[in-house]
């Protein structure tokens, strides 16, 4: 007996049960008649919600005894399945004295539809024990579950049973078998089965294209795509998305354009894929055009499309546009939100948090996260990792501790990504001890966590300890990756470990087969430069053919300034300005070198050139957190409500420091002014103002933590050393590159920064 499922009706050649009902405007069901058993005898029962219909019919059938009929039981079971009441369906199924293939198929397909794959396989095993022969619909549902679970053994066994029992294979069942082999990674089986298929539809070709995409065989995938007789929208989506995932974004863009010209109309998946493509290529104009099409199609309220738009604008640096789209999220009414809507809602919030972090808008990231918690939006791991990263970049320890406590409160366990984020956060907030605690508490250490801890040590000036931990990581059997070598080379650079740095650079290439990247080369140039080996830098650049890397020349120029080699610095700056004529850092470095050598006209000329080209120098800024409030300072700024007391105290402090040996380094003044004026300019650098306020507003014994957006200058470095000695205070300063821990007149960097 052949039967098929058509929406809510079961049509059977010998069926005695034929229900008929229609949907009214209130989305309720009106039962019109139920043949043969006289349940309603052609009279209306009234409007019944979809979810209450199976309960009502079940009760009626029990009352009039019609539930004894197998067809009635199957029909009521199917209604429970359609209403997502699988527990009731399963109970009714279990109480049935006799069950045919339809009974099993109704329940198996129901569990398969909602993803209860283990249950599907258990039911199928029981079905075979009871010697009920499955039909094509049963087998399709079971094979779908095998695919979801990647259960190759079961899938292959079912295929063998089909062949040995002579079951007719239609294209749908063929596709299910093919999908099992693909999802289980049995690509040899998949290829052979594909070649033997007598009938293929578009789904068949799409499955095989996806398989080749997955293993990175783009040539075969593209060949299949070109040979495909009829390319539906899924075919185009599959090939474009596969090209993107395999790093062929440009070719994916070409196919997207081809699809616009000759392909089928876009569906929601196409729009989403196209937006991901625009995000990957950072092509804002493409994203805007796709956004325009979404608006014209009137599908801008689709949850996944909204999230894709937010992500695209975020990655293209347009957070104001992302924010506008985010504000179109529907108001939360928990009783009406579906699982699908809740999932897309969470992703939209997460995209906003990560977008703000990516674009350096950490304050907005933290505010959005707080709103997320307040609105009781489920916080996923992606959001948590992003917000911990935001705390790390802001550098405010108390805030980071609050976020850490909240994550523990909601019950998230520390995995590799979250653990490495914690280490990074505590390190960048100045608490190396807390970073150590997280590292030591982690049971399954991998290269990511080792690298994070090595980076934390390097950031805090403990270069030798970082090298020891790197060696221990290798001894423990962890293979260092590209990032590990960047971190250890950076540690060697800041600690003056030239010999060790050269050794690790060779080890990376010769032992681990890692090709050096831009960051590795830049670290090596910095390593040579800090050690004063300026001539060796020229040889290193020539030998490795890296003259096109601007970061290398920036590091070289910084070393020239450090060692006051003006002539070489001028030559380096000319090379650098050819590569990046609009980079403000290059102009500032050269201008500062000119000023340090009292070449005031040349320094002024560089500043005029910056103005002419519309290049602005980033202003130095320092900040400190006190009593849940962040206080920010810039040089000479008097906008703080306690500025009078701060400046008065700072003048007094500088006078006391001079008595124990401190003197202002007027050579650091980058303007052609008299010495007395130069002292005034140096005296009011942003970190000095922040430290003065910190001393005034905290009791002795509490460390003062300062964050600065630029590299700390030599004069301020000396000022902080003398202050820590005079007042017996621990002062922790994070500048652009590293942490400086000042205590008893000494700095953790050993004056090598």
Burial 50-89, CB ≥16 within 10 A → b, else e: eeebbbbbbebbeeeebbeebbbbbbbbbbbbbbebbebb
Q: Which of 684, 693, 711 is nearest to 632 (CA)?
A: 693
Per-residue confidence (pLDDT) for residue 332, from 0 to 100: 57
Q: Please tell me the predicted confidence (pLDDT) of residue 324.
A: 93
CA-wise closest residue to 395 among 627, 741, 733: 733
H/E stretch holding 191 reads helix 187-196
Phi, psi values for residue 151, rounded to 5°: -90, 85
Write down the number of H helices and E strands in the chain. 37, 11
Q: Which residues contact 300 (CB under 8 A, 6 or more apart)?
A: 294, 306, 309, 328
How is the beta sheet containing 29-34 ordered, strand by strand? Answer: 19-23, 29-34, 47-48
Strand partners, 731: 704, 742
**Residue 484: C-alpha distances to residues 479, 510, 529 (Å):** 9, 16, 21
pLDDT of residue 42: 30
**How many of the other CB atoms lie within 10 Å of CB of 100?**
15
Average pLDDT per consecutive 10 residues, the chain (753 residues; last block may be shorter): 29 32 33 34 37 79 85 88 87 88 92 90 91 90 91 91 85 92 91 90 92 90 90 93 91 93 91 93 92 90 88 93 88 49 79 90 87 85 86 83 87 84 92 92 89 94 93 94 95 91 95 94 94 92 93 90 84 86 75 73 76 74 83 88 93 93 66 39 81 91 88 89 94 88 89 73
Q: What is the Cα–Cα distance from 312 to 601, expressed in whole angstroms?
A: 46
Distances from the Cα of 450 to the Cα of 136, 424, 479, 484, 495, angstroms: 52, 11, 10, 8, 19
Residue 624 per-residue DSSP state: E
Going from N- to C-terminal start, the domains of the chain cover 357-444, 623-747
Residue 82 phi/psi, 5-degree rounding, is: -65, -25
Give the single-character DSSP code of 9: E
DSSP H or E stretch at residue 63: helix 53-64
Cα separation, 74 vs 94, whole angstroms: 12
Q: Per the confidence metrics, is the pTM higher than 0.75?
A: no
pLDDT of residue 594: 78
Tokens of 715: 């004069």
């Amino acid at each position: 007996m052949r039967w098929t499922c058509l929406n809510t009706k079961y049509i059977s050649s010998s069926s005695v049960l034929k229900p008929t009902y229609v949907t009214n405007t209130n989305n309720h069901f009106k039962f019109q008649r139920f043949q043969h058993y006289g349940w309603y005898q052609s009279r209306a029962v009234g409007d019944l919600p979809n979810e209450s219909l199976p309960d009502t019919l079940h009760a009626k059938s029990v009352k009039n005894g019609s539930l004894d009929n197998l067809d009635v039981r199957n029909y009521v079971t199917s209604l429970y399945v359609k209403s997502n009441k699988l527990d009731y369906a399963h109970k009714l199924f279990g109480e049935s004295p006799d069950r045919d293939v339809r009974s099993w198929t109704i329940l198996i397909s129901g569990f398969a539809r909602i993803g209860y794959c283990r249950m599907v396989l258990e039911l199928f095993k029981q079905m075979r024990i009871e010697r009920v022969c499955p039909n094509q619909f049963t087998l399709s549902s079971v094979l779908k579950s095998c695919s979801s679970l990647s259960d190759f053994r079961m899938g292959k066994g079912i295929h063998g049973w089909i062949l040995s029992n002579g079951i007719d294979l239609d294209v749908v069942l063929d596709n299910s078998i093919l999908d099992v082999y693909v999802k289980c990674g049995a690509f040899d089986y998949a290829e052979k089965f594909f070649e033997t298929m007598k009938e293929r539809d578009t789904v068949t070709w799409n499955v095989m294209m996806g398989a080749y995409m997955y293993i990175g065989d783009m040539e075969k995938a593209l060949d299949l795509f070109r040979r495909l007789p009829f390319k539906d929208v899924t075919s185009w989506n599959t090939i474009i998305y596969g090209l993107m995932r395999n790093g062929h974004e440009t070719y994916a863009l070409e196919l997207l354009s081809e699809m616009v010209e000759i392909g089928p109309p876009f569906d929601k998946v196409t729009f989403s894929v196209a937006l991901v493509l625009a995000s990957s290529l950072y092509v804002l104009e493409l994203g805007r055009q796709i956004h325009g099409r979404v608006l014209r199609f009137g599908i801008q309220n689709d949850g996944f499309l909204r999230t894709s738009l937010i992500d695209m604008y975020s990655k293209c640096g347009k957070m104001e546009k992302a924010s506008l789209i985010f504000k179109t999220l529907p108001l939360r009414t928990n009783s009406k939100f579906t699982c699908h809507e809740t999932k897309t809602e969470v992703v939209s919030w997460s995209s906003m948090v990560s977008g703000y972090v990516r674009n350096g808008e950490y304050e907005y990231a933290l505010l959005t996260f707080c709103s997320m918690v307040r609105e009781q939006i489920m916080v996923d791991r992606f959001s948590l990792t992003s917000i911990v990263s935001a705390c790390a970049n802001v550098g405010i320890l108390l805030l980071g501790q609050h976020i850490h406590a909240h994550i523990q409160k909601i019950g998230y366990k520390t995995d590799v990504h979250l653990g490495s984020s914690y280490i990074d956060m505590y390190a960048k907030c100045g608490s190396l001890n807390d970073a150590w605690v997280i590292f030591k508490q982690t049971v399954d250490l991998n290269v990511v966590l080792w690298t994070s801890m090595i980076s934390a040590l390097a950031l805090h000036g403990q270069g030798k300890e970082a090298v020891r931990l790197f060696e221990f990581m290798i001894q423990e059997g962890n293979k260092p990756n590209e990032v590990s070598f960047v971190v250890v080379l950076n540690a060697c650079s800041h600690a003056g470990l030239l010999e060790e740095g050269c050794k690790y650079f060779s080890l990376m290439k010769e032992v681990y087969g890692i090709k050096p990247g831009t960051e590795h080369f830049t670290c090596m140039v910095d390593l040579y430069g800090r050690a004063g080996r300026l001539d060796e830098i020229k040889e290193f650049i020539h030998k490795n053919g890296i003259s096109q890397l601007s970061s290398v020349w920036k590091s070289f120029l910084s070393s020239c300034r450090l060692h006051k080699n003006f002539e070489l610095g001028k030559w380096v700056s000319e090379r650098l300005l050819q590569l990046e004529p609009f980079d403000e850092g290059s102009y500032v470095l050269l201008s500062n070198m000119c000023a340090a050598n009292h070449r005031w006209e040349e320094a002024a000329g560089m500043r005029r050139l910056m103005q002419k080209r519309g290049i602005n120098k980033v202003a130095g800024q320092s900040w400190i957190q006190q009593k849940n409030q962040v206080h920010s300072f810039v040089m000479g700024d008097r906008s703080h409500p306690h500025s009078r007391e701060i400046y008065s105290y700072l003048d007094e402090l500088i006078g006391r420091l001079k008595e124990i040996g401190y003197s202002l380094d007027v050579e650091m003044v980058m303007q052609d002014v008299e010495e007395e004026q130069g002292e005034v300019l140096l005296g009011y650098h942003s970190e000095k103002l922040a430290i003065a306020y910190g001393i005034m507003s905290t009791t002795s014994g509490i460390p003062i933590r300062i964050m600065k957006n630029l590299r700390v200058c030599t004069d301020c470095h000396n000022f902080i050393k003398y202050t820590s000695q005079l007042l017996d205070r621990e002062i922790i300063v994070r500048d652009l590159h590293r942490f400086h821990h000042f205590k008893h007149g000494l700095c953790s960097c050993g004056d090598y920064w």
